[in-house]
Each structure stands twice: as C-alpha cells, then as structure tokens.
Amino acid sequence: MAIVLAALAITASVIVPLVVLAALDDETLERWSLIGQAISPVGLLYSGLALFAIVLTLVLQQRDLSHQRESLNVALDEQRRSSEIALRALHVDLIKMAIDDNELAEVWPPLAPGVPETRKDHYCNLILNLQKVAYEAKTIEEAELRGALAYLMRSNDMYDFWTKVRATRVEITEGDTGEDFFTALVDDAYTAARPPNP
C-alpha cells in the first residue's frame, strides 16, 4: 500500500504541473510566478526549520545513544562485580571447609615455602577477603578500608599472617590491577604497624 501511494504521489507531482501549464494562459502563469516569488521566503523559512528539526533530532538521538551506552557500561560493571563477589563467596566457603577439616586444609599449598600454617592463618585470610569484597562492593570507601587494615594489623595473628604471605601474595597478584591495589594497601598498613609484642 505504501509503495502504491508513493508511486501515485510521484505521478501526480509530474502530471499536475503539466496539466496546469497546458490549461493556463501566459498571463495567468506569469501572475502565479510572481506569487510564487513573493512567498518563496516562506518556503525558505520552512526549509530552514525542517533542517533545524533534522539536526535537533540527530543531536537528541546521539545523546540518547550515549546515555544507553553509559547505562550498558554500568550494567556490565555491576554484572562483573556481582560475578566477582560470587566467586569470592565460593572462595570463603572453601576456606571455611579447610578451617573445619584438617584433611581438606592439607589440599591448599603452604602460605610460603617451608612456613607452617594454622587455622588462624585461614581465618586471617577470610578477614582480609571480607575487607576487599566490602571495598569492591562500594560499601566502604578507600579511607575506611585503610583505617580497617591499619586496625587489623594491630593483631599479632594478622601481622604474623601477612609476614608469612607477603612475598607470595605480591607474586600471585602481580599484574592484576585490583589485586595489586589491595595488596599494596594491606602492605602499607603492615609497614606502618609496629611489630606486635610476642
């Protein structure tokens, strides 16, 4: 139907002027020509308005696409964060199993070569993991995270744990921006803390 209507409109736009030209005398045509010239600024105005409307439509569409792109990026970031938090929850469950069962604890590699590990070490790992997840989930800010880590390093057990895993942790996380950042914060807190009394 649309094609038929378009064809009829094109045909009419060609035939109607020809019929008018054939039916009218020169004097009438000249008068119509003068009228057309007189109202041509109105046509220009409408053409300008149409062009402005097209440009405005394109700008609004561009802005809408930009907002959609931003929303999609936010959604993807949230999805990535949720996936990472779910993986960390699984990690927590695995460590809990190792804490509860010595046989399962033997599956984990040592914290550092030749360094014996205890259930407390696994527990310290869980506490630090909680701080990292809280920061990544944006429930705490960086300043709060630094304060929490400084507080945790007052514990003899936490200080000893980081002493054991420090070199290994840096080696494992090297190249992962998020892990490197968190490891650096923990290490700053460790370095700033005084060695606890034995």
> CA dist 1 to 8, 12, 86, 105, Å?
11, 16, 55, 75
Longest CA pairwise span in the chain (Å): 117
Cα 160 to Cα 190: distance, rounded to the nearest angstrom:
10
| 140 vs 106, more confident | 140
Q: Tell me what percent of the chain is helix, strand and coil, each rounded to the nearest 5.
A: 80, 0, 20
3-state secondary structure of 192: helix
pLDDT digits (tens, 9 = 90+) for 95-126: 788 788 888 877 777 777 777 778 888 889 88
Q: Report the predicted TM-score, pTM, of the whole model to 2 decimal places.
A: 0.55
Say which DSSP state 138 is in.
Answer: T
First to last CA, the chain: 91
Going from N- to C-terminal start, the domains of the chain cover 2-72, 109-192
Mean pLDDT of 39-59: 82
In this prediction, residue 24 carries a pLDDT of 67
pLDDT band, very low/low/confident/very high, at 49 (cuts 50, 70, 90):
confident
Residue 46 has pLDDT above 60, yes or no: yes
| 93 vs 197, more confident | 93
Cα 126 to Cα 132: distance, rounded to the nearest angstrom:
10
Which of 34-38's residues contact partners 24+ apart within 8 Å by CB, and which partners?
Answer: none
pLDDT digits (tens, 9 = 90+) for 174-183: 666 778 888 8
| 119 vs 147, more confident | 147
3-state secondary structure of 174: coil
